[in-house]
Structure 1
Amino acid sequence: MPFVSWYEKHYLRVLIGVGVLFGGAAIFVAGYAKGSPKSASALLMQWSGDAVEVLSSGWEQAADPLPEHFLQPSRKPGAGVTVNTLMDTDDLVLLTGFFDGDPGLRLIRRDGSTVASWRAAFSELLPERADKPGAPQTDWNVDLHGSYIEPDGSVVFNFEYQGTVKLSRCGERLWALPERTHHSIEKAAAGGYWVGGLDVDADANNPTYRPLVSPTRARGTIQDDLILHVGEDGRILSRKSVFKLMMENGFEPLLSATGEMMANESLTDNELMHVNMIDELSSDLAPAFPEFAAGNLVVSVRDYNLVFVVDPTDWRVKWHGTGPWLRQHSAKFVSDGTIAVFNNNTYSYQSGPDGVTDLSQPRTSQILAVDPVSGDARVRYGGDMLSVFRGYLQEQPGGGFLIAEPEAGRVIQVDAKGDTVWEYINRFDDDRVLEMTGARAFPAAYFTVTDWSCP
């Protein structure tokens, strides 16, 4: 993206950034003159930091026209479909990631040919958030994380921590929800979707967060994850604080197990929980889980290596497990009565600069399945995966899994024995791949669309 093009698109932010720098300098001088240099310095550092973020991200994008935010080192050769023993199946796979020069979604056949695609440019689809704090400075500085496709070919997806958008089969915006949604979009049987949300301005002085949250937080705020039920029309039908849910269910000993205030200054991004999956138990799978009921939710909380099942009618936790997974994602109910988890099994220090995977690290990520009755856990797949930050799984007929390994730019399907039966690599060049954050397979009969062509 040339600098002139970037400037034409974001000149207002540049002016605001420069203005904040000069305004901050003026406030510093005034504060110093009044004998308050310490307070003036703190305010100047906070404001100038925000301004520098605006300017630096734009400069980096202009100086290097490559989509660095989405690039990872390649781990194996090949591009597109590299393994396919499913030629006789007619299902379609929805991929979420970076394609054709932009973030987007792509619906493909098992042979890799494209059925439909959706370009997801943040500046065009979610202008309501374009000038809000934390908004990406370019369309290449935001992930798509969480997606779903309806039978009519419309798609719903999250711009990570920015909002949720629904597009028609041909890419027209049907609605947008400019909330801090993230990670997870799963269908709700009652209609709409279960979506992860985030209250980024939760008041640290609110007694609700005592005694685990210090009132001395920078800016006096913390980040509290939310479980959102979003309706078919994009309106929020209900919201529940995950922190409050856990406190109401007696999780205070776990939340305070480190012996420190949760919200001390070392807390990453002021975040309390980091919820990354909310999945509903369907009526079809409910008979395999007599201890639960259709409509119950399984929730993954990464920062506590915690997975729990909760009834959203009264928010009573029915089951929970801490480990053996580490920094997990994508907890799902599966047909054999277990809960499957994408076990990242890593720590953030195992990633290199700017989130680029360090390929010298052991490939320890895996799919684990836990029996919520006995507590027994077993590895369903692993040995060649390494994903430090993300991951997604979907059970397939016959007991296998479709798995998105984002930092490998790869989606694989394995059968019940753990053998790879399908693989897709999102190739960028000889040495690099482009991340994909999600993948879902749908039988052709799921769709009501007979003609996928668009004007």
Structure 2
Amino acid sequence: MEQSTLVRRGLGLRGVDTQKVSPGYTLFAHLTSPGTVKLVDNHGQEVRRWDLPYRPGRHAQLLKNGNLAYNGVHPDAPRLFPLWQKYRGGVMMEVDPQGNVISEHRDPLAHHDQHHLDNGEYLYTTVEGIEPEKATSVLGGIPDSEAPDGKVYGDCIKHVSPSGELLWSWKAIDHLDPKIFALQPHYPREHWPLINSVYPLKDGNILASLRSVSAVIIVSRETGEVIWHLDSTVVAQQHCASELDNGDILIFDNGTFRHHESATYSRVIQVKRDDKSIAWQYKDPHPMTFFTPFMGGAQRLRNGNTLVTEAAFGRIFEVTEKGEIVWEYVNPDFADYTGLDAEEIEGYFDYKANALFRAYKYAPEEIPWLHPN
């Protein structure tokens, strides 16, 4: 009998409502692949595939010019602490539909979200070691769980030009109050506050998701100060904060260590900027059946539907505004980290997984090269 629960539940296309699904194609990168990115249609058929030279440093997107923006794992990055191997990136590539590398920016300390802007610039997250006297101000976490070199690594956000010139930068240790942004007590102290998404807002400021302190913030581009803070009374270990056309913030709320609830489930929430109220949310009618303890994505589509990535289980689905599932697909490819130069985490994740960090969907007119006629 098949021993993988995920395989037994079914892979590939699980269902589609052709009347209500948004037209288009879904792009995803299999995290434990050597560097595979796939584009599938609404019937679950693969229509394009890229096999790139580095394993995914989290995710891939399509740019407005039709090229693939791919974040790969830097081959020569320092090995800071074991879990660094899981979520680091560092090779930001732009690749054409035929697989030719058009441009590349490298930063060996980049991790999680490496945002390729339409003008060729990059907005992304990095880390650097915090000076020992400042590191003691970082509160919370598991006692004596600093990185093997004794350091606490703090997050930075960088904005660089196409040629790599630094245009703007921000350091968490310089702008976050450690008392307000204390590590959740189950987290190691090796990395604070663990920024897993950055997003450029229309007003020029920066939206960021801070996982290990359960916070979504807006950083003033001008001063570096936090000018908006959604705290752990609303979000729990969340990911993928983005801005909607009306200015609301869409967030994948993972749900681990959620306040005042013992049953764990994930949800997607749309939060108003002015009063931080929840304008819309999706959770499964049987809430505990939709959950990923880490990673995850949410994308609002043109027709009002929302694409959701239940990341740890390789599941991508699309829901209507009323919460009706109209498309579901499960990544059919499974692999572990063997052979991917990630020996530190082979023991942590010693099973074959189909995990994805985040998927994106594109309307047919956004991919003109796919059907040139």
TM-score range, shorter chain: 0.7 to 0.9
Aligned CA distance change for structure 1 residues 398 and 303 (closer, same or farther; 3 Å): same
User: After the TM superposition, which residues 102-121 of structure 1 pair with which residues of structure 2 at under 5 Å, given as runs?
Assistant: 102-121=34-53
Match of 1:376 among 252, 264, 277: 277
Does the 8 Å contact 2:62/2:68 carry over to 1?
Answer: yes
Match of 1:254 among 180, 191, 198: 180
Instruction: Provide the identity percentage.
Output: 18
1:74-105 per-residue CA deviation (whole Å, 9 max, x = no partner) reads: 18733222222247854222112158x64421
User: After the TM superposition, which residues 231-242 of structure 1 pair with which residues of structure 2 at under 5 Å, given as runs?
Assistant: 231-233=161-163, 236-242=166-172
Aligned CA distance change for structure 1 residues 154 and 326 (closer, same or farther; 3 Å): closer
1:14-64 per-residue CA deviation (whole Å, 9 max, x = no partner) reads: xxxxxxxxxxxxxxxxxxxxxxxxxxxxxxxxxxxxxxxxxxxxxxxxxxx
User: Which residue of the partner structure matches residue 147 of structure 1?
Assistant: 60
Amino acid at match of 1:254: I
The reply to whether residue 304 of structure 1 matches residue 233 of structure 2 is: no
Q: Which structure would you say has the larger Rg?
A: 1
Match of 1:223 among 153, 162, 176: 153
Does the 8 Å contact 2:15/2:327 carry over to 1?
Answer: yes
1:197-254 per-residue CA deviation (whole Å, 9 max, x = no partner) reads: 122x33324xx5564489x9663522011112143345554332122122xxxx3431
Distance apart, 1:301 and its partner CA: 0.7
User: Which residue of the partner structure matches residue 369 of structure 2?
Assistant: 449
Worse-matched range after superposition: 187-196 or 177-186: 187-196
Give the whole-Å Cα distance in 1 for the aligned partners of 2:111 and 2:91.
Answer: 8
- The one of the two structures with greater contact order (alpha-carbon pairs below 8 A, sep at least 6) is 2
Amino acid at match of 2:130: A
Distance apart, 1:114 and its partner CA: 2.3
Give the whole-Å Cα distance in 2 for the aligned partners of 1:102 and 1:226.
Answer: 27
- RMSD between aligned alpha carbons? 3.4
Match of 1:419 among 301, 304, 324: 324
Partner SS state of residue 243, structure 1: helix
Distance apart, 1:267 and its partner CA: 6.1
Does the 8 Å contact 1:329/1:343 carry over to 2?
Answer: yes
User: Which residue of the partner structure matches residue 95 of structure 1?
Assistant: 28
The reply to whether residue 74 of structure 1 matches residue 1 of structure 2 is: no
Give the whole-Å Cα distance in 2 for the aligned partners of 1:177 and 1:418.
Answer: 40
1:91-124 per-residue CA deviation (whole Å, 9 max, x = no partner) reads: 222112158x6442112222222232222343xx
User: Which residue of the partner structure matches residue 321 of structure 1?
Assistant: 230
Does the 8 Å contact 1:148/1:185 carry over to 2?
Answer: no
Give the whole-Å Cα distance in 2 for the aligned partners of 1:301 and 1:309.
Answer: 11
Q: TM-score, normalised to structure 1's length? A: 0.62
Give the whole-Å Cα distance in 2 for the aligned partners of 1:196 and 1:305.
Answer: 17
Partner SS state of residue 255, structure 1: coil
Distance apart, 1:425 and its partner CA: 0.8
Does the 8 Å contact 1:96/1:144 carry over to 2?
Answer: no
Match of 1:366 among 237, 246, 267: 267
Unaligned runs of 5+ in 1: 1-70, 123-138, 261-265, 283-293, 349-360
Amino acid at match of 1:232: P
User: Which residue of the partner structure matches residue 401 of structure 1?
Assistant: 306
User: Which residue of the partner structure matches residue 131 of structure 1?
Assistant: none
Give the whole-Å Cα distance in 1 for the aligned partners of 2:214 and 2:161.
Answer: 30
Amino acid at match of 1:303: S
The reply to whether residue 389 of structure 1 matches residue 294 of structure 2 is: yes
Match of 1:203 among 106, 126, 131: 131
Match of 1:168 among 95, 100, 111: 95
Worse-matched range after superposition: 373-382 or 394-403: 373-382
Distance apart, 1:276 and its partner CA: 0.7
Partner SS state of residue 9, structure 2: coil
Give the whole-Å Cα distance in 2 for the aligned partners of 1:423 and 1:157.
Answer: 25
Amino acid at match of 2:190: N
Aligned residues: 324
Q: TM-score, normalised to structure 2's length? A: 0.75
Flag the structure with higher helix content.
1
Does the 8 Å contact 2:196/2:209 carry over to 1?
Answer: yes
Unaligned runs of 5+ in 2: 74-86, 335-350
Amino acid at match of 1:115: V
Amino acid at match of 1:309: I
The reply to whether residue 277 of structure 1 matches residue 203 of structure 2 is: no
Give the whole-Å Cα distance in 1 for the aligned partners of 2:90 and 2:353.
Answer: 26
User: Which residue of the partner structure matches residue 241 of structure 2?
Assistant: 331
Does the 8 Å contact 2:69/2:93 carry over to 1?
Answer: yes
1:308-327 per-residue CA deviation (whole Å, 9 max, x = no partner) reads: 11222332322112031111
Give the whole-Å Cα distance in 2 for the aligned partners of 1:120 and 1:269.
Answer: 33
Distance apart, 1:166 and its partner CA: 0.6
Amino acid at match of 2:111: H
